[in-house]
Homo-oligomer: A and B are copies of this chain.
């Protein structure tokens, strides 16, 4: 399998953390694929006309996306339990956390515009705080797709939003996140800047 990959995409990281947890990481060949809201990658378009990563290409040439579908595919391949539990609770919790990541990507993009719109920045800040406030501490002794997405989202906050002090408001989440970041899957997918 080939994965259109980039080290700083949190959606790619979600897939790679899942792959490591499922024992499938060494079966995935990663291809550095640079994309952006304003940056079209012609080599990617043939596999994903939306120009988005992660995109998984199977050995028979079929492409699978988005990150949720890839994670479900890998989980089924490995006979994993990343989607175990009450289906609607698992999928809605994932949608909340994945939606937070979508929001953060747009938030960062707005911040780096030449002329950010104050009303958009304000609304994005409100939604980020609302989502952070709703995050529940995962139960101990299990790991699912929501936990992975939560850990990746919090690490992305650290990486791109060092002005948002989520730890101050949620010390119990900070403790959970610190422990989660010691997992080999998280260590293996940490960006180390040269």
Which of B40, B113, B115, B134 contacts A49, CB < 8 Å? Answer: B134
Copies in the complex: 2
B-contacting residues, A45-104, CB 8 Å: 45, 48-52, 62-66, 68-69, 72-73, 88-89, 91-92, 95-96, 99-100, 103
CA distance A121 to B50 in the complex (A): 15
Which of B50, B63, B73, B119 contacts A103, CB < 8 Å? Answer: B50
Complex interface: chain B residues within 8 A of A130 (CB): 40, 45, 49-51
Please state if A96 and B62 are interface contacts (CB–CB under 8 Å): no
Cβ of A127 < 8 Å from any Cβ of B?
Answer: yes
B-contacting residues, A33-50, CB 8 Å: 37-40, 45, 48-50
Complex interface: chain B residues within 8 A of A187 (CB): none
Cβ of A164 < 8 Å from any Cβ of B?
Answer: no
Looking at chain A's contact residues, the main secondary structure is helix
Q: How far is the CB of A44 from chain B (nearest CB, A)?
A: 10
Which of B39, B63, B65, B134 contacts A123, CB < 8 Å? Answer: B39
**25 A-B pairs, CB-CB below 8 angstroms?**
A37-B120, A38-B117, A38-B119, A38-B123, A40-B123, A40-B126, A40-B127, A40-B130, A49-B127, A49-B133, A50-B99, A50-B103, A50-B127, A50-B130, A51-B126, A62-B89, A64-B92, A65-B92, A65-B96, A66-B95, A66-B99, A68-B95, A72-B91, A73-B88, A113-B117
Other 19 A-B pairs with CB < 8 A, given A52-B99, A65-B95: A37-B123, A38-B120, A38-B122, A39-B123, A40-B123, A40-B126, A40-B130, A48-B96, A49-B96, A49-B130, A49-B131, A50-B103, A50-B130, A51-B126, A66-B95, A69-B92, A72-B91, A73-B88, A106-B106
